[in-house]
Amino acid sequence: MARVLQPKDREVTAERLLDSSMRNSYDPNVDVDWDAPLVEGKGFLPEERVSLYGTALWDRLTPEQRIELAKHELGSITSVGLWTEIVLMQLLARYAADLDPRSPHMHYALTEIGDETRHAIMFGKGIAKFGIPAYGPPRAVRVPAKLFGAAIGGPAMFASVLVVEETTDRLQRSMLDDDRIQPMIRMINRIHVVEEARHVRYAREELVRGLESLSRPALELHRLVTAVVAHTVMDVMVHPAVYAAVGLDPREARAAARANPHHRESRRWMAEKIVAFLTEVGMIGGPTRRIWRHAHLL
């Protein structure tokens, strides 16, 4: 893949993505029926993706508590995703500022910022609708992320963005045709999946182009940053406070989730496609592979 991408392809790709955006974009304010009531008995996440699924703690929960926990976990994942989208807007705005304003490549970067603003509002409205707290990432992640957002660029930036977009995409895609899930969530996921497919294409190609000109030490640095971001994002997706919502001790439940083979497998499954891609293009490799393994993503 690295050798077939030429600089001129950048504009060809951007033109295609702009055309697709024009034909197939959503306005969540009107395309989601926010007034529709939740459907009795439908869930918020596939059971098997809930972090405690299969543990002794899970066995003690009633069916209602399991649905409640899934709702809070979905809320946590969504609020972390929403926050990463805002970080991404900053990254893309800094990136776009240096591009040629006449180029489709720049126009697509701006279009993507537009998509992410609508997504963040859509997710925010969803969390409000379901009456879930806005868990989000802890301060220990929010604060350094501001510095990260101001400093990072190039392949590590695009790879980090892809890790977030593609892991959540896998989870959302798996729910599109899942009849057990609330219809409103499936609609939100459908909107997101359609628009994210373009973001993934844009970032994947830009990552490959960026990698071509990296020196060996720079590559290792970009690999390290990407691995740390991937580990951190996956770790903060489920806020420990979600467990308190069903009367569990957050510390005990978090430890149980971390040791849960089903949960580890879910993380690996969410990351499977992006890990394969990053490995293929050389963004996962060398000594920092250990970090991916430690994060249960390899």
Cβ distance to Fe ion smaller for residue 73 or 166: 166
Candidates 112-120, 133-141, 209-217, 254-262; binding stretch for Fe ion (CB under 5 A) = 112-120
Find the shortest distance in angstroms from Cβ 193 to Fe ion: 10
What are the backbone dihedrals phi and psi of residue 43, each rounded to the nearest 5 degrees, phi first? -95, 180
Q: Which residues contact 216 (CB under 8 A, 6 or more apart)?
A: none
| Contacts with Fe ion, 208-247, as mask; x by CB under 5 A | ----------------------------------------
Helix (H) or strand (E) holding 21: helix 7-23
Find the shortest distance in angstroms from Cβ 94 to Fe ion: 16
| Contacts with Fe ion, 163-192, as mask; x by CB under 5 A | --x---------------------------
Tokens 């489920």 correspond to 238
Find the shortest distance in angstroms from Cβ 123 to Fe ion: 8
Applying CB under 5 A, the site for Fe ion has a residue count of 4
Tokens 């970067």 correspond to 109
Range 28-67, binding Fe ion (CB under 5 A): none
Q: Positive or negative CA dihedral for 41, 47, 50, 56? A: positive
Among 72, 119, 190, 239, binds Fe ion (CB under 5 A): 119
Query: How is residue 286 annotated by DSSP?
Result: G
Helix (H) and strand (E) counts in the chain: 13, 0
CB 103 within 8 A of CB 14: yes
Cβ distance to Fe ion smaller for residue 119 or 254: 119
- The answer to the question of residue 105 lying near Fe ion (CB under 5 A) is no
CA–CA dist 140, 132 (Å, integer): 22
Burial class (CB in 10 A: 0-12, 13-18, 19+), 157: buried
Find the shortest distance in angstroms from Cβ 78 to Fe ion: 11
- The answer to the question of residue 199 lying near Fe ion (CB under 5 A) is yes
Residue numbers of the site for Fe ion (CB under 5 A)?
A: 119, 165, 196, 199
